[in-house]
A and B are shown apart, each in its own frame.
Chain A
Amino acid sequence: MREVAIAGVGVTQFGELWERSLRELGLESGMLALMDAGLETEDVEALYLGNMSAGRFIQQEHIGALIADHSGLADRGVPATRVEAGGASGGLALHQAYLAVASGLHDVVMVGGAEKMTDVSEQDAEETTGFAADQEWEVFFGATLASLYALVARRHMHLYGTTPEQLAAVAVKNHAHGAANPKAQFQSRITVEDVLRATRVAEPLGVYDCAPLTDGGAALVLTTPERARELGRPAIVIRGSAQASDTLALHDRWSLTEQRATRIACERALKQAGMSLSEVDVAELNDAFTIAEVVALEEIGFAKRGEGGRCAPEGRTALGGELPVNTSGGLKARGNPWGATGIAQVVELYDQLVGRAKGRQVEDARVGLAHNVGGTGATVVVHVLEAVR
């Protein structure tokens, strides 16, 4: 297997972008990534695209070909592959693109993610995101994704004494980070009181405990470190790329409060990188719901089991803390366009590792970790990036 580097990144504005279509979001992010890399469309040998449910959101399937077509790749017959794994679609597309370069099959690969979620009503969008859970045995009985994470949160509170205030601190932190990200959906700070007083979604979770519905696209250009050097690009190398699976339904897990696929994927990615978590300087973790970031911190080994809730209130995961988590604003504030999210996390890490994350830069960041989750944890993808200086 060859080493794989990121030559350039691109991300669109995230938000409720009523004037933008899926094909525009996919195209813009890809073109931004190409320009960043200093490459031409002709250099792209293959396209991988993360997309969760264009069929439900805009009644369009066959998304790989669509984006290849509108990017000008289809005229050359460039292969295009759409990857779907719920909220982990983007991360899994990156894993596939990584394999395509690492295997020697391709030298320059474009990997993007895009989702257009606001063309349908909020109710329809929430129904669709629920399809990342088990339709027959969860959704059928009235479950939404928020309600499933609420079940995790309640159990976590019961077992470990985690409090609503501790969960709120996750949202407060990520909004504070998002306030420094001009591409974020929400660029406003909030308080713990705002989170606790907000409309309830599924107790104990309220609106501010949940990531929003978002339109957006993000893209990366992958190549070999040698090619990146020839292009005069900073050497940002993907040291680890790993995926793990778990049961689709939450009630089939051996434990409600553990996310085993996160633990396994993280261990695999760090092992492949030959690194330990202590070497990671900045992380983008799944915070689709506040409890999700708490559980992720425990599973990656940053916090002890049951103590993940303490990290945000103690400032350990804020910018300037021991391990800044979700400097982009996370899914909560940057926004969560499902298929794009896993790619957008890596865009943020890239900007951090090359030192251009203005207003939210982690000093001397060398190693970054991205953690992308599908559903309640049935698919988890972890990437470890290193700036080679």
Chain B
Amino acid sequence: MTGVRFWREFGSRYRMLATRCPSCGLVYFPPREVCRRCRRASLGKMERVPMPRAGKVMSFTIVHQGQKGFEEQVPYVLAIVEFEGGITVMGQVVDCDACDVSIGMEVKPVFRRIREEGEAGVIHYGYKFAPMCYPVCAIDDEGAGGPG
């Protein structure tokens, strides 16, 4: 797998750029080229917009048998986070104990290493989610700068 494939997604993986339909105002993340409501009328008109910076955990799981490339991270927490406007995004929750994660918990996106790629040799970065109070209550010498 070449690295190029991953460059395409940098805008949304690194900066969480969403797309917005100018007709109905619906915001999509991950970005969509066509609005699910306005369909063809929105083609070529979708605007790039930033994501809201606060969300709440809708559901979560503690993963013990991880996806390939994530073996060294188990157990890790995956969650679906609901942002303002009803946008829902899946990602890891970090910077807190797995047992402290709960539905309704407020989180914010943070920029982290996602995994190391074997074949392309590319180290993948992207967003994860941290408790809203981080770093005030979650920072410590070992955990703060780690890969998360």
A residues near B (Cβ < 8 Å) are: 123-124, 126-127, 130, 136-144, 146-147, 150-155, 158, 199-205, 249-252, 256
Contact = CB atoms under 8 A, between A and B. Distances in A.
Contacts of A130: 67
Interface stretch (B19-27, B38-46, B70-78, B133-141): B70-78
5 contacts: A123-B71, A141-B91, A154-B103, A155-B59, A256-B80
B61 A151 contact: yes
A147 B63 contact: yes
Given A151-B59, A154-B60, A251-B88, A142 B65 contact: no
B62 interface: yes
B115 interface: yes
Contacts of B63: 142, 144, 147, 150, 201-203
Nearest to A124: B68
B58 A144 contact: no
Contacts of A126: 65, 67-68
Interface centre among B59, B60, B79 (most CB of A within 10 A): B59
Q: 8 smallest A-B Cβ distances: which pairs?
A: A150-B61, A155-B59, A127-B68, A203-B62, A137-B30, A251-B88, A151-B59, A251-B90
Contacts of A140: 114, 124, 126
A141 B126 contact: yes
Given A127-B67, A203-B64, A141 B59 contact: no
B50 interface: no
Contacts, number: 96
A251 B57 CA distance: 12
B90 A144 contact: no
Given A137-B90, A140-B126, A141-B126, A201 B64 contact: yes
A124 B118 CA distance: 13
A152 B64 contact: no
B61 A158 contact: no
Contacts of B124: 140
A371 to B, nearest CB: 23
A200 B59 CA distance: 17
Contacts of A143: 67, 78, 90
Contacts of B91: 141
Contact of B59 (A136, A158, A249): A158
Given A250-B80, A251-B89, A256 B58 contact: yes
A264 to B, nearest CB: 16
A142 B30 contact: no
A150 B60 CA distance: 8
A84 to B, nearest CB: 20
Interface in B92-113: 92, 103
